[in-house]
Structure 1
């Protein structure tokens, strides 16, 4: 059996416990809730970098709009499972950012879901913009390997 691939890039980890309201009639997490969890991961990634998404909006009038999502469901999460959402920067090209996610069950490290989101930095008028230098540098620094921190 092939071993799972891991990345040595820095990642942020957010943990949560599956709430009953997040499950469907089959007793598993409803598929769209993973997208909400991806957002939780994005916000935690920025927070772990010492940046606040709310400040990007407030101080710079910029937003990071989601323009694409790719999700692969691997195994179901169920009510009361504790899950970890591991988020990292996958790529940066001009105003475009790509983030990657792995959602695992904490108890056994079972991969539940993985995916990516593609974002474009926009101003309040939805025109393409560039990240402020401090944000750009912080995101680009995450593209460098950080030994010992598997994604």
Structure 2
């Protein structure tokens, strides 16, 4: 399976009054992991946007485990969970760097759209290099 791991150092500004990571910050860390994963495939969101396309999130799923705190380190593991030519789903595990305990598991689902009209497009027609890289990642996951 193709995946990336991104190290995150929990900053004070990312915690709430209880001293734990504010729940919405996990979404930011998922984005960091997703960006790193895409780059590991030899692709960049920036290039997609320059061609006139965006990849908005259309669904998010998060399951919270043991909360992280200021000063701890986390590892964001990211992989391609599903791809059907139009929608792409990324999977995530955010774990404690030291113990491996799970802080969250989750998924984000995306669709590619035109920048101007937000009209959905099929990657296999409009962004063939993305389609091919996603197909390869899915095949590696299945083997």
Tell whether the structures are fold-level matches, with TM greater than 0.5: yes
Look up the SS of the partner of 2:27 in the other structure: helix
The answer to whether the aligner puts 1:140 opposite 2:135 as a matched pair is: yes
State the aligned residue count: 138
Q: Would you identify which runs of 4 or more consecutive aligned residues in structure 1 move more than 6 Å?
A: none
Look up the SS of the partner of 1:142 in the other structure: helix
Look up the SS of the partner of 1:80 in the other structure: coil
Within-5 A mapping of 1:109-120: 109-120=100-111
Look up the SS of the partner of 2:26 in the other structure: helix
Q: Structure 1: which 5+ residue stretches go unaligned?
A: 1-8, 147-151
C-alpha distance in structure 2 between counterparts of 1:127 and 1:100, whole Å: 25
CA deviation profile, 1:37-73 (whole Å, cap 9, x unmatched): 1111110011111111101111x21111101000000
The answer to whether the aligner puts 1:16 opposite 2:8 as a matched pair is: yes
Specify which structure has the higher proportion of helix.
2
Q: Deviation of residue 137 (structure 1)? A: 0.9
Q: Pick from 122, 126, 132: which aligns with 2:113?
A: 122
The answer to whether the aligner puts 1:68 opposite 2:63 as a matched pair is: no
The answer to whether the aligner puts 1:81 opposite 2:72 as a matched pair is: yes
The answer to whether the aligner puts 1:46 opposite 2:38 as a matched pair is: yes
Partner of 1:4: none
Aligned 8 A contact 2:85 2:131 in 1: no
With CA pairs under 8 Å and 6+ residues apart, which has the higher RCO, 1 or 2?
Answer: 1
CA deviation profile, 1:67-98 (whole Å, cap 9, x unmatched): 10000001110101111111111111131111
Partner of 1:27: 19
C-alpha distance in structure 2 between counterparts of 1:93 and 1:130, whole Å: 9
Q: Structure 2: which 5+ residue stretches go unaligned?
A: none
Q: Deviation of residue 145 (structure 1)? A: 3.5
